[in-house]
Structure formats: structure tokens, C-alpha cells
Structure 1
């Protein structure tokens, strides 16, 4: 039996998820190829054709799709195109959308089977069913000969995740070698009940958390090092840090790899665990803060505190682990004051990266069902956090504010927060809130400044110090009074033997940032350098 799995990457996936492999399909592929005579090909438009060609189509006995809700329109278009090309073999859908919006897929004539929830065991039994072998169908919808649907209930989840084979990364071998990076999953399931993702996660992975053992995970990493030469990995499941003893055991084993790695985490992790993570190579933690308003965290059922989130990020900063802070705006009932609290939170906590998404009601989640009457009509491809538009009728009047705060709270690594792009002042906040046009003008001005500052520093690094100094002086004559500008120009003067020109700049910098000990030390160094230059 030859199977074609199709990952229906959207345009957004191609632009922003170019190195994120479909782990669900890779596990399904590895499980399926354990059966005698089964071969699997994966089609993914990011790296090749989106689907089998008309010439190759007769080679396949089964076509399988995975899809999130934002991908399902792309998936259905491909499936219908295959039918139009004469495909007569079963077309099967699985994945998140199939698990939480099953009725939508049951309406599609092109589909013959729908797998609900975790797919490995269900898919294996379905293959045995197709091959006429003894089988036990569970958590699957099948069409009978008259095209009516028949449901096979069940709860056949893998009890022991160590029974999973290693994911079939060889299907993307060149990609893994080129990126030297893999995603790793350590657990399935989540014990929390956040309104924006539950109970859909339970619909997919069941009601309890299951965990792979540390040796099973490290064997996967070692295999990827040996076969693909990876230099880093990311642990992508939500509950990796949920069990402290497990994390400490993993960190002790991971030291031997000498790799950089990252993970997702809640903020209720202690210093001992974070230090162990850092010492084993963890250099980035992705934390779902979501809001700086305690009222909003409670509405989201986060079971967490603003103070805990802030202390966690600051502890990571102290320890030397970068933080990727995920924030949300636009939750039903959220006000401008709540959004302002989120802005104040990131400015206080100073995460390395701050990414903001608009709250999106995914099918089957609590926020979907509790606000179903006010959901604004949309296509499935709009069910995505990156889509900026009103999602709830009650929040529609606040959409300009949502857009505004999404920009202000965002910070990319090495860059500024959106608020800092216009100046962190009461006037800048006031103007930005009252007029998006004014905000965009100010932001454009600061973006230009950042580009010019970078060009000046690059010139200095390349040995063209005087050129860099002149570019920085020009920015000052144009009225820019940024701390970075004074600091860089003063340092260039000092490092090229001109302390008499550096000291006034450091003193101006001290007026902007009173009490800065580093600046005080530089002033003393300038004074000492001037004294040593005076002839005896």
C-alpha cells in the first residue's frame, strides 16, 4: 500500500513557518511504515509539489490530510482538485480541525473518512480495515457504500508514549540538515483549562497528561545529531516544565549534547529549575503571559498571577535565559485600560521578545461556545491569531485600539517595543491612542532613526570610524536625543583617543539617565584619560 500524506501549507505558513515540520504526519508516517508493505510520501508545497501530479496519482492507494482550521480551505481545495483529476481512492482527514469541527468535514463530498483526536492507533486500525485484516475501529467516521456516515466511538489513546517510533524526519532530511534544527514533543495533554484552547486539546489528546521518558526523548535527539547534524532543538509542548523532577533529569542528560535548546513553559517555574535548564543549553523560554491585567487572566481561566509572570521574566533575565513573551488582546470584555496594563507589563518586565496576537475563537473552545452568538461571520481561513480583524461583535468598536496596542506591545529581538518607537512619554501615548495616523508617523520616524543608527555603527565596525561619527552627529543635528545615540557617539570618541569630546556626551547621557553607574564610570575614565594626556 502506498500512501500520500498532504500538509496543506497556506501562504502564511510558507512565509512564517518555513522550518516547522508537521510532527503529527511524521509520527503517523513512522507508525504506518511499520506495517508490512506500506510506503508513505509526504507532499508539502513549502518544499516541493502540494500534491501528487495527475501522472503519479494512480500510484497511491490512500490520500491523507492533516489540517488546522486556518488550513482547511487549502486542504479541501487540494482534495477536490484530486477528485477532479480522477482520484478514486479514499481521502482521509485528521488533525485539529477534524477533531473539533467534524460536522464541517462531514459535509464535504470529497472526504471518505475522518479521524478524531490522536491519530496513530486509529490510523493503524483503519489501514488494517482497508487491507481486510483483523481490526478495531475507534474515534473515526466512515462513509458506507451509500455515502452515509457511520461513527465508531472509542478512547484508544496510547498509554505509553515510549511506544511511539521516532518521527520519520528522513522525509524532510534535506530540510533538517539545512536548518540543523528539530522540534521535539515530550508530552501530550494539558491539565489546565484556559478558555482559548480547551476543551479542544482534550478532544485531541484525552483528559490526562502523558509523558515520554527522558531516555526516549534523548534517544530521539541523539538520532537527529547522528543522522542530520542538528545543532539546536525546541521542545514545543505546553507542559514540558510541569514536572520539576522530569525537567531536572532531562537537563542532566541534555548537558552531554552541548546543544542550544528552547522550550515552552508556564511562569510557575522556580530558580533551581531555570538554572539547570540554562546550564544544559536552554537559551530561550516561550511563556504564555497573555495579559498584564489580572481581570483578563481570570476571565481566561489562566490560574496565574500578573506578579508571577513578571517575576518569572525578570528571573530569566537575571539568570541569562531569553524570554519570548506571548500576549493577547481583544478578549471579550477587555477594555482599553486592560490593554494598557498589558503594555505597562511588558515595559516593566522587559522580555527579550514580545509577540502579540488577536484573541481568536477556535472551534470548540470555551470562548467559542460561550460567545457563539456574537461571533462575526468569517471563513475558516480567518480562524487564525495573525488575522487582524474584529472577531466578536462586542469588541468591534475597539478594533482600532486592538490594532494599536498589538503594535505598541510588540518587540522583536534586538529591537524596541512599539511604544519605544514613538518615545515612551505621556504625550506619545496620548497622541498614539487618539490617532493611529499620528502613531504611524512617529513610528516611521523612529524606524528611520534605527536604520540610520545601524548604518553608522556598521561603518565604524568596518573601520570607517570618522564616517560613523559624522553620521551620528548628523542624527543629533536633526533633533534626535536617544540614549543609544549619545552612548555610541561618546564611545567612538573615547575609543579613538578623544576623551575631551566623549565626556560632554556622557554628561548629556547622564541627564537623560541619572544615576547610571556605567556612564559615571565612563566619565571618570574620560577624566583620567585627559589627565594622562597632559604633558608633565
Structure 2
């Protein structure tokens, strides 16, 4: 009872938008769990689904006669936390495939935490709820020794007892993350990831995490794995892992996949010193909040340590919507942080969200105005998504019927009644992207006029693209107005 086969249930190929984007990352959370069990003496193997074509590719791994199959999804990846139905079906298929070939099937993911019965019905023996490493370690130890009854009493598990779902209290989250070994990077063949990145982007990026959890209370954001507690790895451990991945894996760039980066006072500054001490020059991108970026000398320290891009959870240019979301940030902070980051040569991306309850046409206009005035380097647009366990989910739960999850990350379905129709928001998504690209083009054109000898191929393309985006934007605007009239909503 010592052989553990780990896998995850995110298949990039099943998510058309993400596969076409060609920026895949290994299953970081799965590697963390595998590293811990291996440290405890288990023989571990990993079937990495991220670049696989089908759940059926699990079969050769099952032929190695593992005692445990552990489907451990990456709690750091927002794509996993969205609980896409196509990935859920892949996980259930792997459970059914393995049911008669292993002694125990254990599942740990956002979706299984929220919908344990679905996974137990498919044949899983236990669902691990919330942060999983310590629960997994204790559970495997008890099952290995035949202590099945004791295994059912531990914190953080759900299971069936005589056909009845039993869901024990979650285990408290780890406070000292440095107690865990570094993720088992040696279990992943990163050559496939590198080939995709270099062919599509010209460089190789890997993922890394520095924290777990988020203490902020945005009422649409679910935290089924790490909760509202916020705990950090030490700056030294993070910098050392970066250095190892640069030396051993050829990584040049990192996606720091924390929900929120650098919240702990002084952490960013200490991290910059560790980067300097090791003599490495990584480039990396993070997710953060406008208010947090403005604290102390965070932006300066981030830029010095190699920050290339920051994605701000801007959500809306309307203060009324930010307040309704319990976001806790001010529109003015988005403006200030963006301008300071650009001044330091850091790229800025905005996460934008339309369709929140009570949103008016005036609120939408304010968001578009913010995009036009600040001209971020990139934007990601979504409609509000009701995740189980959130206040927002409770507010719209009575409206949720057959469809409660997106099929893939490009679904963008409105699963409740917004101010406008689903067709309106789909068209709005296209319109705002065209407004954004047009504004970028105008800025590029202005720079060309001012400094023609410094023109780059990218700026020339951006300026030329205005020929397409200007008429396309006006056409989408006309279509939006028509959709409003059909709905009887005045502009």
C-alpha cells in the first residue's frame, strides 16, 4: 500500500480558448502534494493531464498497479477554481476508469469540495475538502495501515456511510508554508510546455506560488481551498525555487499564481533583496489590488526585482459597482496605480467584470471610460460568475437552473438575470475589446508622429489596426443599441 498515482483534471486541449492561447502551466498544487507524500516514503508517480488529449491516457499508469489514485487539482490556477463542466466530466471519467484497478481513489479540488456527492457517486472513496496536503498525508497513512474507521473521523474529508453523505469539518490551513517541501518539479516533463511557449511566445515561462489564501471580502470570489486566511512562503524559499527553475528547467519568466501577491508588510522588499543576493534576473507577472500596490514603496521594489506585468482586479470603473461587490478599492486607486506602474515600465492588465447585479448603462460607460483613459496593456473581460459559497451566489441562487457552470473558459454565459440580456453582454464583450484596441492604436499612431525614427514593428501594427477597429467598433455600438431597444432599456 505504498504506491500513489497522482493526476489532475485540467486538460488544456478541452478548453479551446486556453489551448489556442498557448500559455500552459504545469499542475503546481498537484506537485506540492506529491512532494509531501514522497518525503514521507511513498512511491509516487504523476500523470499530468494538462497537455494530454484524453482521460484514456491514464490507462498505462494504472497498469503500474498503484494502491492510491489521487486526483488533486491545482488550487492555485483560476481555471481550476472555475469548475468547468468539461473538466469535471474528465475527472469523473478517470474515477470510473480506475475504480476496479486501485485500492482507494481520493479527490481534492474546488469542484469536489463544493459537490462531493458527484465524485463519490462516480466511485471515489474520499473527497478531501479545502487545503489538502496534511489531510491527504493523514488519510493515506490510516488507509495504508487498514484503519478505515479512523480515516473517516479525520478533519477535511467527505465520504459515504451506508449511502449517506458525511462531510467532516475542514482542517485548519497551514500557517507556516515553509514546512512543506518544494513542489516535485522532477515529476513533470516540462519539455512539452517549453516547446509550446517558445513556438508561440519566444520565451519559456513557468508558474510559482508565494502565498495561499486572500483576506479580502469580494462577495463574488470563492475560496474553497485556502479560505480567507493569508499565509506566505519565505522570500528566500521563493527566490531559491526561481533560481532552481531558471538553472534546471530553462525558465526565463514566471507567472506568480497567487490570488494576491505581496500583501504581508515588507515581503516584497525582502524578496527583492533575495533576488539580488542570488544574482538572478527573473521576469515575472503577478495579480494584485490597486490599493495594495500603492502601499509603501511596493511598486519600486517590485520593478527592481523583475516585475514585468501586473494584472489588477479592477472589475469596474464605477465606484457604485465596486462598493456593491464589497471590493474595498477606489476607482482613483486604479488610476494612480496604473500610472505609477507604467512610469516604471511595468505592463498593466485589467480584469473587468460586467453584469453584476444592479449594473446600469452609466456604470458600463464609466468602465469603458476608464479603459480609454488609462489604456492598459491588456484586458480580460468576463461576466459575473456565481461561485458556490459566495454571497453573490446566494443572491442569485433562485435564478440558477440547469446551467450552473461554464463549459469552458470562453463560455461567458449569464446564468442569472442581469440588467441586460445575455446577447447584450456577449456583444458588449466584443465592443469593449474593440474600444480598447482602437485606443491602443491611436496611442501608437500618436507616438509614431512624435518619434517616427523610434517606431517598432509592434507599434506600426497597432497603429495600422485602427483601420479595422474603428468601423468594427461603431458596428458593434449600433448592435448594442439595437439590443437595448429590443429589451426596452433606454440608453
Residue 480 of structure 2 is matched in structure 1 by 433
> Are residues 1:138 and 2:138 paired?
no
Q: Does residue 9 in structure 1 map to residue 30 in structure 2?
A: no
Report the alpha carbon displacement of residue 315 of structure 1 after superposing the two structures with TM.
1.8
Q: Which residue of 2 aligns with 1:57?
A: 63
> Does structure 1 residue 226 correspond to structure 2 residue 247?
yes
* Contact 1:122/1:156, CA 8 A, preserved across alignment: no
**1:336, 1:401 within 8 Å by CA — same for their partners in 2?**
no
Aligned residues: CA RMSD: 3.0
CA shift, 1:28, in A, is 0.6
1:22-74 Cα deviation digits (max 9, x unpaired)? 11101011011112242222231514763422684361211122354212122
CA pair 425-379 structure 1, distance change in 2 beyond 3 A: closer
Change (3 A) 1:150 1:401: closer
Give distance in 1, aligned partners of 2:254 and 2:238: 12
Structure number with greater Rg is: 1
Q: Is the counterpart of residue 77 in structure 1 residue 93 in structure 2? A: yes
Instruction: Tell me the distance in 2 between the aligned counterparts of 1:228 and 1:253.
Output: 20
Whether the 8 Å CA contact 1:290–1:328 is kept in 2: the answer is yes
Matches within 5 A, 1:91-170: 91-106=105-120, 108-132=121-145, 137-144=154-161, 146=162, 148-170=164-186
Rounded to whole Å, the distance in 2 between the matches of 1:186 and 1:73 is 30
Q: Is the 8 A contact 2:210 2:261 kept in 1?
A: yes
- Alignment gaps of 5+ in structure 2: 74-79, 198-203, 441-457, 484-491
Shift in alpha-carbon separation, 1:76–1:433, aligned structure 2, 3 A:
same
Contact 2:31-2:185 within 8 A present in 1 as well: yes
Distance 1:350 1:139, change over 3 A: same
Establish whether residue 251 from structure 1 lines up as the match of residue 251 from structure 2. no
3-state DSSP class of the match of 2:32? Answer: helix
CA-to-partner distance for each residue in 1:296-323, whole Å, 9 max, x for gaps? Answer: 1111110111111122112212221100
For 1:195 and 1:420, locate their aligned partners in 2 and report how far apart those are by CA, in whole Å.
41
Query: Does structure 2 retain, via aligned residues, the 8 Å contact 1:183–1:234?
Result: yes
Could you tell me whether the CA contact under 8 Å between 1:342 and 1:409 is conserved in 2? no
Check if 1:372 corresponds to 2:372: no
- 1:175-194 matches, within 5 Å, as 175=192, 178=195, 179=197, 180-194=204-218
- Asked whether the equivalents of residues 292 and 306 of structure 1 are also in contact (C-alpha less than 8 Å), the reply is yes
Runs of 5+ unmatched residues, structure 1: 437-536
Offset from partner CA, 1:325-377 (integer Å, 9 cap, x none):
11011112222222222111100111010111121111222211121011242
Matched, 1:325 2:372: no
State TM-score, norm by structure 1. 0.73
Instruction: Determine helix, strand or coil for the equivalent of 1:182.
Output: strand
Judge which range, 365-374 or 2-11, deviates more.
2-11
C-alpha separation in 2, matches of 1:252 and 1:192: 27
Query: Is the deviation greater in 153-162 or in 172-181?
Result: 172-181
Given the alignment, which residue of 19, 33, 40 partners 2:38?
33
- Of structures 1 and 2, the one scoring higher in RCO (CA 8 A, sep 6+) is 2
For the residues of structure 1 that align with 2:230 and 2:94, how far apart are their CA atoms?
35
Evaluate the alpha carbon distance shift between residue 241 and residue 43 of structure 1 in structure 2; reply closer, same or farther with a 3 A threshold: closer
For the 8 Å contact 1:360–1:385, the answer to whether it is kept is: no
Counterpart position of 1:400: 423
**Equivalent position of 1:346 in the other structure:** 371
> What TM-score does the superposition give when structure 2 sets the normalisation length?
0.79
Q: Give the drift of 1:177.
A: 5.3
State the secondary structure of the residue aligned to 1:153: coil
CA contact (8 A) 2:290 2:337 kept: yes
